[in-house]
Amino acid sequence: MRTLSVTASFTLISLLFGVATAAEPDMSRVNPEGQLPDDARLGELRNLRDEYHPWTPPTELTAWQTLSKQIREQILVSNGLWPLPPRGELDPTVHGVIERGDYTIAKVFFASYPGHYVTGNLYRPKNIDGPIPGVLCPHGHWSDARFYDAGDEAAADILAQGGEKYLSGARHHIQARMVQLARMGCVVFHYDMVGYSDSDQIAHREGFTDAEAALRLQNFMGLQTWNSLRALDFLASLPEVDSNRIGVTGASGGGTQTFLLCAIDPRPTVAFPAVMVSTGMQGGCICENASYLRIGLNNIALAAAFAPRPMAMSGADDWTIEIETKGLPELKQVYSLFGKADLVDAQCFPQFKHNYNQVSREYMYQWFNQHLDLGLDSPVAHQDFWPATTEELSVFNEEYPRPEDATDAVGLRRYLTALSNDQFEELIPESGDDVDEYRRVVGTAARVMFDSDVPSRDEIDSEITNTDKRDSYTALNGTVGRVDGGEAIPWLLFVPRNFQGRFVFWVDGEGKTVLLNENGEPSATVRRLLEAGIAVASADLFLTGEYLNSADDEATFEVDENYVGYTFGYNRPLLANRIRDILTIVGGIQRSQNVSRVDLVGTGAAGVWALLARGLLGERIEQTIVDLQGFAFEKVRETSDPMMVPGALKYGDVGGLAALAAPSRLHVSGIADVPKRSLAPLQEVYKASGADGQLRLSAEGLTASDVAELLLQ
């Protein structure tokens, strides 16, 4: 291998960092003692109730098409629906038809999962001539849901405010929407959220908030989104429904379900999410939040995934009050990429509080009339109606009791875990032909979970703080981050005089001081590598080293104690930040054409960080050496654990995610206390890849001397 000159070594340094400033440097620190890195991640975490959640859409169609695909994948992964569960026969029960003159109401239930039932009412025009449009209506968090009755006193206030024209609508605004759409010539399925009305097998907001649920991405949002998909299957299967004319509309929590369903399923042709799409509060319930859902995104971006199909939204005197000036312009920009800016619209009615009243419904009626080709005279005015009682709308009765196999949250989660395990086992490749599918599914999940890829040269922002030139090497430190990421990762680099193009990036749980001895000089192991012409770098990954006020501090990352999705729905997990830092620095190292090879080493607590990062690094890393120290995700018991990564157990634990490294050279030490099942996928994928010889497993942990021996073999 050729040896680079001293000039070439400094060319490398300048390419990696820029211009140096040196004065009696302390190479163990980049920032002065007591000063934390100027890293944006040290600020307040995002929160669902933040006043402003901005999002800037791409300005080119190809960039948007790439992003919209990623948004759909992010929704599915966060909802625990990647890959989608199997769609069995629904075998719906439709009964108890109520006659209302020009329309009818039927009662419906079917199992979306074995033992878990979707319940609702089917509204249909009395006389149907040929296939007609279908409209799916998820409801929000109004009391009693499908059975909602505002009562006389509240109804009187609504009438006085001008929100409704008729008492029937003022008391029963939810029914009013279904009735009017049926009278307009649509088949309407109105179904329950989990824990409301007849869907009371599982209490709303309960049963899916512990660490085990998080590690398997079992959450309320995913359950309701799956129910919505199956409700759409039911509606589209009806012989009287034109499956090419499907509308979806709901308000509040039902608005959330509207834009989620419309983002991930191509069948809806028109959408109207009411009082939910905004740059303000993003949804306050656990059924509107899931880990990873809004990292880098907001509800505007999620709704934009419906483009270029026609969508309109209503706003009110709530978190959607600014929709016309914050949100709609961004949506118009996305739709304009298709030349269809007129197919997205929003109107705010600030005279009303959070609602789906007659004023906003009539706005929706016009939109559906136009885009479902109903052919009605415009404007479509809401009509009075005869409300059905709770008893009439109830799905279960003596003749049609709740099925005996109906299960609670415990039973459903037991089924979901078994299903997820089966789906993962089916992904394990038996030959090289199956490896690509494993990479597609698990690799996509890992990209979402760790919110990262390797940045390009132009995406790296770096700066030298100190340099120290010695006879046989040059030491320098500084910060590195991504141009748009706000990171300022302190790192330390040693470049030998006889640099030969090979780099070792060594990460440790204690930070970059792993490269130094007690005197602040390169350790004996680092000196061995430098003598061999190998450059060595390390860094203080997020909340290690200089990110802590003292060496005795422990990394803290406050997780909402009520529900992990309230934190990780908007912010990367701590482990994901550290993996992202590894990818950032590898991107920084590879800015120079003088670097011909990069090896990755992970010791201490950083062993697992490096191992998981390796799966996202592709061919950029020649060899990886890590010490697992007995870690497996099945050992995580609390949502506050710094190693909490929602979904890690769904995708095969540490071995399943690490298997993305195949077929590269990989040495994993410290596995004596790792459960065999946690590492089995790693071995099986390497075997299927024909790379058995590239994977070495060792029960014992790594010493610094071991690292040097392995690197110099």
Dihedrals phi, psi of 524, to nearest 5 degrees:
-60, -40
Do the Cβ atoms of 312 and 272 come closer than 8 Å?
yes
User: Which residues are paired to 371 by β-bridges?
Assistant: none
Portion of the chain with pLDDT greater than 90, in percent: 90
Length of the chain: 713
Residue range 571-579: average pLDDT? Answer: 97
Model confidence pLDDT, tens digit, residues 654-712:
999 999 999 999 999 999 999 999 999 999 999 999 999 999 999 999 999 999 999 99
Model confidence pLDDT, tens digit, residues 152-164:
999 999 999 999 9
The reply to whether 368 and 503 lie within a common domain is no
pLDDT at 6: 39
pLDDT at 19: 45
The reply to whether 71 and 203 lie within a common domain is yes
The reply to whether 267 and 337 lie within a common domain is yes
Nearest-angstrom CA–CA distance, 235 and 246? 9
446 domain-assigned: yes
User: Which residues are paired to 116 by β-bridges?
Assistant: 113
Residue range 603-610: average pLDDT? Answer: 98
115 domain-assigned: yes
Q: What residue numbers bound the domain in which 194 lies?
A: 66-405
The reply to whether 604 and 702 lie within a common domain is yes
CB-based contacts of 443: which residues, under 8 Å, 6+ apart? Answer: 615, 616, 660
Number of domains in the chain: 2
266 preceded by a cis bond (ω within 30 of 0): no
Residue range 455-480: average pLDDT? Answer: 94
Nearest-angstrom CA–CA distance, 299 and 324? 14
203 domain-assigned: yes
What's the pLDDT band for 12 if we cut at 50, 70, 90?
low
Dihedrals phi, psi of 641, to nearest 5 degrees:
-60, 130
The reply to whether 396 and 475 lie within a common domain is no
The reply to whether 172 and 121 lie within a common domain is yes
Strand, helix or coil for residue 570 = coil
436 domain-assigned: no
Give 391-455 as a DSSP string: HHH-S--SSSPPPTT---HHHHHHHHHHHHHHHHHHHS-SSHHHHHHHHHHHHHHHHHHHT--PP
State yes or no: pLDDT of 255 exceeds 70: yes
695 domain-assigned: yes
The reply to whether 603 and 506 lie within a common domain is yes
169 domain-assigned: yes
35 domain-assigned: no
The reply to whether 15 and 87 lie within a common domain is no
In whole numbers, what is the pLDDT of the chain averaged over residues? Answer: 94
Do the Cβ atoms of 327 and 277 come closer than 8 Å?
yes
Residue 218 CA, chain-centre distance (Å), reads 13
116 domain-assigned: yes
10 Å CB burial of residue 188 (0-12, 13-18, 19+) is: buried
Q: Where are the alpha helices (DSSP H) in 209-322?
A: 211-215, 220-237, 253-264, 299-304
Whichever domain contains 278, its CATH number is 3.40.50.1820
Give 38-70 as a DSSP string: --GGGSPPP-TT-S-------SSHHHHHHHHHH
Of the residues 361, 388, 405, the one at which a domain ends: 405
pLDDT at 284: 93
Model confidence pLDDT, tens digit, residues 610-623:
999 999 998 889 99
CA torsion sign for 229, 234, 237, 238 is negative
Dihedrals phi, psi of 155, to nearest 5 degrees:
-65, -40
The reply to whether 85 and 231 lie within a common domain is yes
Nearest-angstrom CA–CA distance, 540 and 604? 13
Nearest-angstrom CA–CA distance, 101 and 21? 84
pLDDT at 17: 53
The reply to whether 507 and 364 lie within a common domain is no
Tell me the Cα Rg of the chain: 29
The reply to whether 97 and 13 lie within a common domain is no
As a 3-state breakdown, the chain gives helix, strand, coil percent values, each rounded to 5, of: 35, 20, 45
pTM above 0.85, yes or no: yes
The reply to whether 339 and 484 lie within a common domain is no
pLDDT at 463: 93
